[in-house]
């Protein structure tokens, strides 16, 4: 097994961010060496604290340094004292956009032992992979305000959808669907109202789908999709959707799969022209920060997505397996462990694996 060193940038961020990231790194440290992987980590202080201290969200020089890494592990950024949008647009979305993270990958899986708010739903009913577009749509930040503060004020918000941008994420989604046992892909959009964008998405799915005759293609309006998420989650295998719809349905998916404490995500640039970035779906949760109460599982599962992206599928599977075991054990012990204890236990399970 040839050893390889991967340069990993770490952005712990704010609130519970540093706490959960520490556990993610702990588990990585337990699994990586066994697969000949050395992680050379550099920590970057970005987020609310830096913004308060310096007014900076992401200095160009830091962006340039981050770019020199193979991957980024991010905890969570933001706190209630930073105006809404400042860190989102200035840091998080800037990284997703500038590093061309056009695949925002969000598995939605109900692990055995985890409680879902849905009655009568079992783990085998919830196993989907949401492929959310990450670099355009309503997230492009286009639009503006005219006559602010007057009765004639108008604020616009423009969704930008390109053939280039839609096709690359749709291709990724089809490739994933073709690899999975059910081979089903559901496009989620709202093409009966957002007719310009919707028609483009539909046409691209049809065209790329012609290359994947083995993949069954389905379409749902986003409103109907949220309904089926709670009434028939089994309906979904791979889901491909735009940036905003993906944001919405993956939070709902996280709730269905037992909560935001478990939801992982990867902001992926499949060509590896830029570092991909892995982060839990949850935010910085300032209300529980510093109390050792945060669940690091979402970060640990995000680290597993990172391992997979870096080419260490087996290591990723080991982490997932350890998490799955830990979640089942939790169902029994009542779940009163601290952030650090959960991290320790999962790292331990990884270390004990065959």
Ligand X SMILES: CC(C)[C@H](C(=O)O)[C@@H](O)C(=O)O
List active site positions: 139, 190, 223, 247, 251
* CA distances (Å), origin 318, targets 101, 112, 281, 300, 314: 25, 16, 21, 11, 6
Partner residues linked to 133 by β-bridges: 103
Q: Which of 70, 237, 242, 247 binds ligand X (CB under 6 A)?
A: 247
- Spatial CA neighbour of 307 closest among 21, 43, 70, 112: 70
Stretch of 9-17, 50-58, 87-95, 166-174 contacting ligand X, by CB under 6 A: 87-95
CB of 138 to ligand X, least distance (A): 10
Identity of the residue, 225 or 347, whose beta carbon is nearer to a second copy in the bound complex: 225
Q: Which of 6, 21, 66, 92 binds ligand X (CB under 6 A)?
A: 92
Instruction: Give residues with Cβ within 8 angstroms of 119, minimum separation 6.
Output: none
Binding site for a second copy (CB under 8 A): 84-85, 88-89, 93, 116-120, 138-139, 141, 143-145, 150-164, 190-200, 202, 222-224, 226-227, 229-231, 244, 247-252, 254-256, 259-260
244: exposed, middle or buried (C-beta count within 10 Å: 0-12, 13-18, 19+)?
middle
* CA distances (Å), origin 83, targets 14, 95, 320, 321: 15, 19, 36, 39
CB of 126 to a second copy, least distance (A): 13
Roughly how many angstroms between the first and final C-alpha of the chain, as a whole number?
Answer: 17
Token pair, residue 82, equals 């930073």
CB of 266 to ligand X, least distance (A): 11
Instruction: Round to whole Å and give the CA distance between 142 and 4.
Output: 41
Q: From the list a second copy, ligand X, none, which binds 144 (C-beta under 5 to 8 Å, kind-based)? A: a second copy
CB of 157 to a second copy, least distance (A): 4
Q: How many residues does the chain have?
A: 354
Task: Decide if residue 308 touches ligand X (CB under 6 A).
Answer: no
For ligand X, which residue has the nearest CB? 88
Identity of the residue, 40 or 158, whose beta carbon is nearer to a second copy in the bound complex: 158
Task: Decide if residue 88 touches ligand X (CB under 6 A).
Answer: yes
Task: Decide if residue 192 touches ligand X (CB under 6 A).
Answer: yes
Q: From the list a second copy, ligand X, none, which binds 164 (C-beta under 5 to 8 Å, kind-based)? A: a second copy
Tell which positions 204-223 bind ligand X, by CB under 6 A: 223
Stretch of 34-42, 88-96, 155-163, 178-186 contacting ligand X, by CB under 6 A: 88-96
Instruction: Round to whole Å and give the CA distance between 319 and 99.
Output: 26
Reduced to 3 states, what is the DSSP secondary structure of residue 188?
strand
Chain position carrying tokens 């204890």: 341
Q: Which of 142, 145, 155, 193 binds ligand X (CB under 6 A)?
A: 193
273: exposed, middle or buried (C-beta count within 10 Å: 0-12, 13-18, 19+)?
exposed
Reduced to 3 states, what is the DSSP secondary structure of residue 30?
helix
Binding string, 277-306, against ligand X, x = CB under 6 A?
A: ----x-------------------------
Instruction: Round to whole Å and give the CA distance between 112 and 212.
Output: 32
Q: From the list a second copy, ligand X, none, which binds 207 (C-beta under 5 to 8 Å, kind-based)? A: none
CB of 33 to a second copy, least distance (A): 37
Question: Which residues of this chain interact with ligand X, rule CB under 6 A?
Answer: 88, 92-93, 192-193, 223, 247, 281
């Amino acid at each position: 097994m040839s050893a390889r060193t991967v340069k990993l940038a770490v952005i712990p961020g704010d609130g519970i961010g540093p706490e959960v990231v520490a556990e993610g790194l702990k588990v990585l440290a337990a699994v990586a060496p066994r697969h000949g992987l050395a992680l050379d980590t550099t920590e970057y202080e970005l987020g609310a604290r830096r913004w308060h201290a310096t007014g900076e969200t992401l200095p160009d020089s830091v962006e340039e340094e981050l770019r020199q890494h193979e991957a980024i592990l991010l905890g969570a950024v933001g706190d209630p004292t930073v105006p809404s949008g400042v860190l989102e647009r200035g840091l998080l979305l800037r990284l997703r956009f500038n590093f061309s993270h056009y695949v925002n990958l969000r598995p939605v899986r109900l692990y055995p032992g985890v409680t879902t708010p849905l009655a009568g739903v079992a783990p085998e009913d919830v196993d989907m992979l949401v492929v959310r577009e990450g670099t355009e749509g309503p997230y492009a930040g286009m639009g503006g305000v005219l006559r602010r503060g007057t009765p004639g004020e108008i604020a616009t918000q423009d969704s930008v959808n390109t053939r280039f941008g839609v096709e690359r994420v749709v291709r990724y989604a089809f490739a994933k669907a073709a690899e999975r046992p059910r081979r089903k892909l559901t496009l989620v959009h709202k093409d009966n109202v957002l007719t310009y964008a919707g028609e483009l998405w539909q046409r691209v799915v049809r065209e790329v789908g012609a290359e994947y005759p083995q993949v069954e293609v389905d379409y749902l309006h986003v409103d109907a999709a949220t309904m089926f998420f709670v009434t028939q989650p089994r309906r979904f295998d791979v889901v491909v959707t735009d940036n905003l719809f993906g944001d919405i349905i993956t939070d709902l998916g996280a709730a269905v799969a037992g909560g935001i404490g478990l939801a992982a995500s990867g902001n992926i640039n499949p060509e590896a022209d830029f570092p991909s970035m892995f982060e839990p779906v949850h935010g910085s949760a300032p209300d529980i920060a510093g109390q050792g109460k945060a669940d690091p599982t979402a970060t640990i599962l995000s680290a597993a997505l990172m391992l997979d992206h870096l080419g260490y599928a087996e290591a990723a599977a080991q982490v997932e397996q350890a998490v799955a075991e830990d979640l089942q054990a939790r169902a029994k012990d009542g779940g009163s462990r601290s952030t650090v204890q959960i991290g320790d236990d999962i790292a331990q399970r990884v270390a004990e694996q065959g």
